A and B are shown apart, each in its own frame.
Chain A
Amino acid sequence: MLDINIISTVLLVDDDPTSIFLQQHLLTDVCNYNGKIHECHNGKMALDYLENKGDFAENGTSYPKPDLILLDINMPVMNGFEFLDAYKLLPKELKGGIVISMLTSSLNKLDKDKAEKYQDVSDFIIKPITRDQLLGIVEKHFKHTGP
């Protein structure tokens, strides 16, 4: 079976603490992931994380570049799509190799259509994300890059 630990850093971007909790549970308890998990509560915070700005400015703690970002759409301050717009403009070295999967609880087809227009989005998943979906993402994007 695929070992999820070929990835080592996951960034969860969601404003809902319960969603974060469920994703953490899926990663660690269900999929036996033992790498790092970081959480951000909106797009702005995630951008700061990637750029090491704001709360994530160099302060001794290191904030490794994530392999996988699970991105919610509907968030205050900066939503998922606004994050993607800003992400597109980031320098290559900050985003190279990052896989972004969009998660949403909306059944709105427009969101899916919109997400498909973003080249940086690899997958679009209706919440809650399942074990098979998560392993599928890792297999699709990381299988050949593993150690």
Chain B
Amino acid sequence: MKALSIREKYTIGGILFGLSFPLFSQFLDCLLNDLSFTWTSIAIIHQRNVIHYVVDTAPVVLGVAGFMLGVSHQKKNDSNRQLREINESLDALTYKITHDLLGPALNVKALTEILHQSKNNLPEDKQAEILSKVHESINNWLLTFEDFMSLLRHEKSGALEQNNCELSDIIAELEEALSLEIEQSGAKIYSDFSESPTVYASAGYLISIFKNLLTNAIKYAHSERKPVIHITSVRHENMVRITFQDNGSGIDLTVNGNKLFMLFERFESSSGKPGSGIGLYLVKQQVEKNNGSIEVHSTPDKGTTFIIHLPIHSKS
């Protein structure tokens, strides 16, 4: 049996408690008048003393009172739970910020201290190594910082402004914005949206979704080959099915695959590149906010394919 809600418990409690009033008063009246406790005597005492009719309403009155008490109690419980959830996610966020942002900063401090203290006693190649580590740490710091900022912006964002968006425009804009990363990695991006060129979604979210997927594909490229990314769209009933396929290092989804889109979950990749555990969480949230869905297929060493379904038209 399903557990009773607080509202139901309070209502039933009120009715049961209310029933005790007419029962007790009628039983007492029967006893005082030397009547046996039967339906006939109950009818008689009702006729003699009209107050019994008033007392009979007690289960209804107390039932309603119990119901209302239950509603307010439940509301309080719900808002308490909400507050607790917000608190917990704030705790998780604080924890992550101290760990992920403090870590690289402490690294830079320690690295520069080595340079500072050893002055020129360090061999040149060691100095160069330390400098490149400083550079790497600062880069990681900035990437993590950006991720946290987009997470905070996302949690705050309100209603969506959705339009018919040209997928080719979104990708073209991103290729421009990410031109440096694309050039450095030697990535090739092939896109074909001729079968289903538009989706109904928020352009800002689409940019964020594909930016995350593209940077992931470049970041987690296979160590022995340059990234090749294929993005295509086909129509499927009222949805557009976008396939985003890379030839990167892949992820072993048999272990913890269900955690891939969860906040702050990180995965081992052969590239050993650090991640913040925010990107794919945001991707999923943003796809779902646009009434879509996302799934992933991946083979270690072969590559990863994300399939995104987004509506082709507005619902209304």
Q: Which A residues fall within an 8 A CB radius of B? A: 15-19, 21-22, 25, 41-42, 74, 76-77, 104-108, 127-128
In the complex, the chain A residue whose C-beta lies closest to that of B105 is A105
In the bound complex, what is the Cα–Cα distance between A78 and B192 (angstroms)? 39
Residues in B neighbouring A22, C-beta threshold 8 A: 107, 110-111
Report yes or no: A42 in contact with B268, Cβ–Cβ below 8 A: yes
| Chain B contacts to A: CB under 8 angstroms | 95, 98-99, 102-104, 106-107, 109-111, 114, 129, 133, 136-137, 255, 265-268, 272, 274-275
Which A residues lie within 8 Å of B98 (CB)?
A: 105-108
Q: Can you name the residue of chain B whose Cβ is closest to the Cβ of A128?
A: B110
Q: Which of B95, B114, B274 contacts A15 (CB 8 A)?
A: B274
- Tally of A-B Cβ pairs under 8 angstroms: 55
Q: A74-B99, A77-B267, A106-B98 are in contact. Are A19 and B272 (CB under 8 A)?
A: no
The distance in angstroms between the C-alpha atoms of A145 and B187, with both chains bound, is 55
Q: State whether B107 touches A19 (Cβ < 8 A).
A: yes
- Say whether chain A's binding surface is mostly helix, strand, loop, or mixed: loop
What residues of chain B lie closer than 8 Å to A128, measured between beta carbons?
A: 106-107, 109-110
CB B99 to nearest CB in A, in angstroms, measures 4
Asked if A105 and B103 sit within 8 Å, CB to CB, the answer is yes
Contacts A76-B266, A108-B98: A16 and B274 contacting too (C-beta < 8 A)?
yes
With A41-B272, A107-B102 given, is the CB distance from A25 to B114 under 8 Å? yes
Cα-based distance from A128 to B107 in the complex (angstroms): 7
Is the Cβ of B106 less than 8 Å from the Cβ of A76? no
Residues from chain B with Cβ under 8 Å of A108 in the complex:
95, 98-99
Minimum CB–CB distance for B253 against chain A, Å = 13
Instruction: Identify the closest chain A residue to B252 (Cβ).
Output: A77
> A105 and B106 in contact (CB under 8 A), knowing A15-B274, A18-B136, A77-B268?
yes
A13 to B316, CA, bound (A): 55
- The 8 A-B residue pairs with the shortest CB-CB distance in the complex, in nearest-first order: A76-B266, A105-B103, A106-B99, A18-B107, A128-B110, A77-B268, A18-B133, A105-B102
